[in-house]
Amino acid sequence: MLAAKLPTALAGKLSSRCCRLVSTLVLAEHDEVSLNPITLNAVSAASKLGDITVLVGGKNVKKIAEEAAKVENVKKVLVAQDKKLEGQLPEYMTNVVMAAQDQYKFDSIVASASSFSRGLIPRVAAKYNSSPISDIISIIDGNTFIRPIYAGNALCKVRTKAPLKLLTVRTTAFPPANLKGGNATIGDVTNYRFPEYAPEFVKQEIVKSERPDLLSAKVVVSGGRGLGSTEKFKLIYNLADKLNAAVGASRAAVDAGYVPNDLQVGQTGKIVSPQLYIAVGISGAIQHLAGMKDSKVIVAINKDPEAPIFQVADYGLRADLFKALPELIQAL
Amino acid sequence: MKTSLYHQLLQVMRILVGVKRVIDYVVKVRVKPDKTGVIKENVQHSMNPFDEIALEEAVRLKEKKIASEIIAMSCGPTKSQEVLRTALAKGADRAIHIEVDDVKAENLEPIHIAKLLSKMAVEEKVDLIFVGKQAIDDDANQTGQLTAGFLDWPQAMFVSKVEPEANGEIDGGHEVHRLKLPAVLSADLRLNEPRYATLPNIMKAKKKPLVKKKPSDYGVELEPQIEVLEVTEPPPRKAGIFVDDVSALIAKLKERGVIA
């Protein structure tokens, strides 16, 4: 009896495996209040790879799971809700992702490049002995991707033979998926155990802002060392208000303490590509250009005619920013 | 109570710091005409800036008598010894060079370094692995996290403060994590300002131990998983123009339809 059953079971398993679509797990990013829109860019990238399942982990995430279930092209949403997932520390989230992976055997795991995914994706990768690929800007096929190296001064086309593909995608390189149109089923991730060494999430201090988010803003106004002080940096905020823009900064402005570090645009800060990027009092070091040179239109206002920022600017204004900015604010 | 336990651990802390030799950050890299990579010959190289910061923090922990020993490691061709000598001059106690030939070095992936670091950490009984948050050549931002994954150690990435509470930089602000040793940390720019190696220290560094090893000494195989098919220049931007004044600027932006 048993012997007769076995081949059928095996055949069933095999056929389901060969007919199974290529499947992708997208890690949702959220703050326990709402789905972070950068998740939509990851979904849109993942839709080039196969059927999409979204994983939502956190302390209180039922509402976020419902939001994710409505996103276009999402077939399934997996939920892991646990007190210990507060702050979604990678040590805990890794085990949740592994439980989902071991149950559903995804071909790839994708997230938008952010502090969250950068902490988590490579840690998961180690568990599957797989080389992850960071910050892809283009998907050629299921195994071939393009990513920038050397602060965006070269593009590298790579082919992976990793047993599990773990990818972070550059948000600005993929349009967001539609927030509506999906009708995914919602299920729970089960069978995860948390590690014993238990790191503790102490607190999170988020810089509150009424302005559009840097990563998704259509217009970004950035200030550099040329502003000279925190007080004078207000000129940047005033201009941003006129344009409904997000505010960015160069490393020099952050280091000088004019603005908090999460406003930094560049190789090691945020990568933005808005419709309009206005760089004020920024010389344009390689590391800053890496974060903004894919913007559609770039404006540079600087009094140094030799500033490298002018080499990438569509429109350059050689002027004292303390004269030009008030004029600009006035005229808009 | 918890804190005192932490301090006991800290007092015997041994730190392993990973340092990478990369093209200097001020160099404008050029892609090779045959598209196999970027030109590295006769180009200024130096220690990856983030690794300098990780090393500096380790040295400061030693100066505060919190750490007992700092081991610097680098994997690459013979020239990697230059950055290890720099690390010794800045305060590392000894160095381990994992030597690979130029071809293997070109195909190194963060996962390989992470495997070496994790094996080395066990062998050397270290309590803390400290790396830079990313290397400015491959921009991968993976090694620390992979290492923590292999070892199943807690991680604090993009750290801007170690006190013993690590304060990690995240999008939108910062986060504070408390973790028990052993652990893996990666350094953000904001963590500290690295010191310069003084001439006397550079001279002293020549006498500090620098051991050469092979990946196989740690049982690690550098099997590539990722093949580089092509390296190209990013598409150039169309040359821009200078405008005379603010009103000309506004006119141009309206013309392009980027402002109303």
Which residue among B31, B148, B258 sits closest to A123, beta carbon to beta carbon? B148
Binding residues of A, by number, are 225, 250-251, 264-268, 281-288, 302
Q: What is the pLDDT of residue A216?
A: 82
The domain spans of chain B are 11-232
Q: What is the pLDDT of residue A211?
A: 85
d(CA A51, nearest CA chain B) in Å: 24
Binding residues of A for FAD, by number, are 225, 250-251, 264-268, 281-288, 302
Interchain CB contact of B194 with A (< 8 Å):
no
Q: For the whole model, what pTM was predicted?
A: 0.89
Interface size A-B, in CB pairs within 8 Å, comes to: 251
Closest B-chain CA to A204: B175
**CA dihedral for A307, A309, A311, A316, sign (positive or negative):** negative
The pLDDT-based confidence of A268 (bands split at 50, 70, 90) is: confident
**Per-residue pLDDT of chain B in tens (260 residues, 90 and over written 9):** 233 335 445 456 899 999 999 999 999 999 999 999 999 999 999 999 999 999 999 999 999 888 999 999 999 999 999 999 999 999 999 999 999 999 999 999 999 999 999 999 999 999 999 999 999 999 999 999 999 999 999 999 999 888 765 556 666 667 887 888 899 999 998 899 999 999 999 999 999 999 999 999 999 999 999 999 999 999 988 889 999 999 999 999 999 999 88
The domains located in chain A, with CATH, are: 23-188 (3.40.50.620), 219-331 (3.40.50.1220)
- Verify whether the Cβ–Cβ distance B234 to A90 is below 8 Å: no
Chain A segment 195-234 residues within 8 A of B by beta carbon are 195, 197-207, 215, 219
Q: What is the pLDDT of residue B246?
A: 94
Rounded-to-5 percentages of helix, strand, coil across chain B: 35, 25, 40
Which residue among A94, A132, A206 sits closest to B142, beta carbon to beta carbon? A132
- Verify whether the Cβ–Cβ distance A310 to B133 is below 8 Å: no
Q: Which of A95, A201, A315, A321 should we substitute to test contact with B (largest number of B Cβ atoms within 10 Å)? A: A315
- Verify whether the Cβ–Cβ distance A150 to B172 is below 8 Å: no
Residues near A277 by beta carbon (within 8 Å), at least 6 away in sequence: A219, A220, A222, A292, A295, A297, A298, A299
- Residue A160 with chain B: CB contacts under 8 Å: 225-227
- Verify whether the Cβ–Cβ distance B231 to A332 is below 8 Å: no
Q: What is the percentage of chain A residues whose pLDDT exceeds 70?
A: 92
- Verify whether the Cβ–Cβ distance A155 to B232 is below 8 Å: yes
Q: Is A9 a residue whose pLDDT tops 90?
A: no
Which residue among B111, B171, B259 sits closest to A115, beta carbon to beta carbon? B171
Interchain CB contact of B103 with A (< 8 Å):
no
Average pLDDT of the segment spanning A110-121: 96
Question: What CA–CA distances, in Å, run from A295 to A170, A282, A319, A329, B242?
Answer: 14, 16, 22, 22, 18
Interchain CB contact of A268 with B (< 8 Å):
yes
Interchain CB contact of A244 with B (< 8 Å):
no
Which residue among A118, A260, A324 sits closest to B246, beta carbon to beta carbon? A324
Beta carbons within 10 angstroms of residue A4's beta carbon: 7
Which carries the bigger pLDDT value, residue A3 or residue A250?
A250
Distance CA(B75)–CA(B127), nearest Å, equals 21
**pLDDT for A156-183, tens place per residue?**
999 999 999 999 999 989 999 999 999 9
Interchain CB contact of A26 with B (< 8 Å):
no
Distance CA(A223)–CA(A231), nearest Å, equals 12
Q: What is the pLDDT of residue B170?
A: 67
Interchain CB contact of A157 with B (< 8 Å):
yes
Q: Which of A119-134 are b and which e, b meaning 16 or more Cβ less than 10 Å from the residue's Cβ? A: bbbbbbbbbbbbbbbb
Tell me which residue has tokens 């810089």: A207
Which residue among A122, A198, A267 sits closest to B139, beta carbon to beta carbon? A267
Beta bridge partners of A78: A55, A187
Q: What is the pLDDT of residue A35?
A: 95
CATH code reported for the domain at B11-232: 3.40.50.620
For residue A306, give both structure tokens.
Answer: 């030799």
Interchain CB contact of B164 with A (< 8 Å):
no
Asked whether A264 and A251 are in contact (CB, 8 A), the reply is yes
Q: Is A200 a residue whose pLDDT tops 80?
A: no
Closest A-chain CA to B140: A134
d(CA B55, nearest CA chain A) in Å: 18
Q: What is the pLDDT of residue A12?
A: 43
Which residue among B146, B153, B253 sits closest to A122, beta carbon to beta carbon? B146
